[in-house]
């Protein structure tokens, strides 16, 4: 009996989310009195998972799986789950994990709960707390199937060290042509930028910035903080920023540690996608802007005065602490 965790990687290196899902899997394993096995795909630094409580890693080395393929990845994980006699499978809340988890659930006749924010409340019955109503509430959800799949919300559980020695084994599942019915031929990725999904800090701009020509200060602030840039829906609808930056209910969800909203009113559809962020800072010239009610810190002021000052202060701070 083991807990199986799907640890994602990029360019052969584990992603930050891999350490969080591994930490979560260890917490589940401790509750069940079992151990954690990870499954990763063409990953070089699997041994690092031992630091977070993983005792065995199955590293899939099949060249055909060099790029993400939901069907083939799900089938590989399903086979590993069976051979490891797995009771609980843990995945992240990334787009890829949310793509493959329902396929995995169908293959294993497993119950799948995404957006889980804490270790299981109990393991018998198996009950987890997840976000509901676009992050406006929580649902306490029971999974009654033999195999359970838990999707952990980004930055909700955190990364916890739990020193174990991980043995790494090469693993290849039995895949057929049907598993490659849909495959990526080529992936064009923006290079050198922090992606919203992986970002610890997100700097986001809204219609209050008046036009695309004013985004230089948003990009500069993001660069100093090592942050990703994002925007509200109308900003991307008007073509001021690429659609990939649109966050909110109908855009990308943000669950960063710090979300800085500049010139964004805080409409319910925007908040729905960003309220899972741990600390929210709002800069808005209107003291009545609804976003202030959801903010941890607020600055009432003109973004064109506040942001350059913030940039200057951060530069000074960095220079003093270099
Ligand atoms: C079905 C549906 C889905 C939607 N999905 C999304 C979604 O996913 N994401 C999303 O963002 N929106 C979404 N929307 C749109 C949403 O309702 C709002 O219209 C939108 O979020 C407003 O964007 P904004 O805050 O940038 O613009 P505005 O509402 O125009 O707000 C601009 C803000 O900037 C402030 N401001 C103005 N000048 C300055 C200045 N100089 N300095 C500082 N502040 C200034 C203003 O006080 C104001 O609060 C959706 C709407 C619908 C109907």
The pLDDT tens digits of the residues spanning 52-88 come to 999 999 999 999 999 999 999 999 999 999 999 999 9
**Protein residue with its CA nearest to atom 51 in ligand 1:** 269
| Burial of 60 per CB tally in 10 Å (0-12, 13-18, 19+) | buried
Query: Rounded to an integer, what is the distance from CA 246 to the centroid of its chain?
Result: 16
Average pLDDT over residues 217-242: 97
Check pLDDT > 70 for residue 9: yes
**Protein residue with its CA nearest to atom 27 in ligand 1:** 207
Query: Rounded to an integer, what is the distance from CA 176 to the centroid of its chain?
Result: 30
Q: What is the pLDDT of residue 191?
A: 66
Which of 196, 202, 207 has most ligand 1 atoms within 8 Å of its beta carbon, as the pocket-test mutant? Answer: 207
Q: Do domains 3-180 and 201-320 have the same CATH topology?
A: yes
Half-sphere exposure of 313 (CA within 13 A, CB side): 6
Q: What is the pLDDT of residue 113?
A: 98
| Burial of 292 per CB tally in 10 Å (0-12, 13-18, 19+) | middle
The whole-chain average pLDDT of the chain stands at 95
Look up residue 69 and give its DSSP letter: -
Site residues for ligand 1, CB cut-off 6 Å: 206-208, 232-235, 248-251, 263-265, 267, 269-270, 273, 283-286, 289, 302-304
**Protein residue with its CA nearest to atom 53 in ligand 1:** 269
Backbone angles phi and psi of 268, in degrees to 5: -55, -35
Q: What is the pLDDT of residue 1?
A: 76
| Helix H or strand E encompassing 25 | helix 16-32
Residue-wise pLDDT for 304-320, tens only, equals 999 999 999 999 999 99
Do 184 and 64 touch, CB atoms closer than 8 A?
Answer: no
**Protein residue with its CA nearest to atom 52 in ligand 1:** 269
Class of domain 3-180: alpha beta
Check pLDDT > 90 for residue 7: yes
CATH superfamily membership of 201-320: TPP-binding domain (3.40.50.1220)
What residue ranges do the domains of the chain occupy?
A: 3-180, 201-320
Do 282 and 261 touch, CB atoms closer than 8 A?
Answer: yes
> What is the whole-number distance in angstroms between the Cα of residue 250 and the centre of ligand 1?
13
């Amino acid at each position: 009996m083991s807990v199986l965790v799907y640890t994602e990687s990029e360019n052969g290196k584990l992603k930050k989310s891999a350490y969080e899902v591994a930490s979560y899997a260890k917490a589940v394993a401790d509750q069940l009195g079992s151990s954690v096995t990870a499954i990763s795909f063409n990953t070089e630094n699997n041994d690092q998972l031992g630091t977070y409580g993983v005792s065995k890693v199955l590293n899939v080395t099949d060249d055909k799986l060099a790029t993400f393929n939901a069907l083939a990845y799900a089938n590989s994980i399903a086979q590993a789950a069976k051979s490891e006699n797995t009771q609980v499978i843990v995945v992240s809340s990334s787009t890829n994990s949310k793509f493959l988890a329902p396929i995995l659930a169908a293959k294993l006749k497993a119950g799948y709960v995404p957006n889980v924010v804490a270790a299981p409340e109990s393991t018998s019955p198996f009950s987890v707390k997840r976000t509901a109503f676009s992050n406006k509430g929580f649902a306490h959800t029971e999974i009654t199937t033999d195999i359970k799949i838990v999707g952990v919300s980004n930055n909700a559980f955190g990364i916890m060290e739990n020193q174990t020695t991980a043995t790494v084994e090469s693993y290849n599942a039995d895949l057929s042509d049907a598993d490659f019915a849909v495959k990526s031929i080529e992936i064009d990725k923006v290079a050198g930028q922090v992606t919203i999904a992986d970002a610890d800090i997100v700097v986001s701009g809204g219609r209050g910035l008046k036009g695309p020509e004013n985004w230089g200060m948003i990009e500069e602030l993001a660069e100093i903080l090592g942050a990703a840039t994002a925007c509200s829906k109308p900003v991307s609808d008007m073509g001021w920023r690429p659609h990939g930056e649109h966050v909110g209910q109908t855009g990308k969800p943000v669950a960063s540690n710090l979300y800085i909203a500049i010139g964004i009113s805080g409409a319910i559809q925007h908040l729905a996608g960003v309220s899972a962020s741990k600390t929210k800072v709002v800069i808005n010239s209107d003291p009545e802007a609804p976003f202030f009610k959801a903010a941890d810190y607020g600055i009432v002021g003109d973004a064109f005065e506040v942001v350059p000052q913030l940039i200057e202060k951060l530069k000074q701070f960095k220079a003093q602490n270099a």
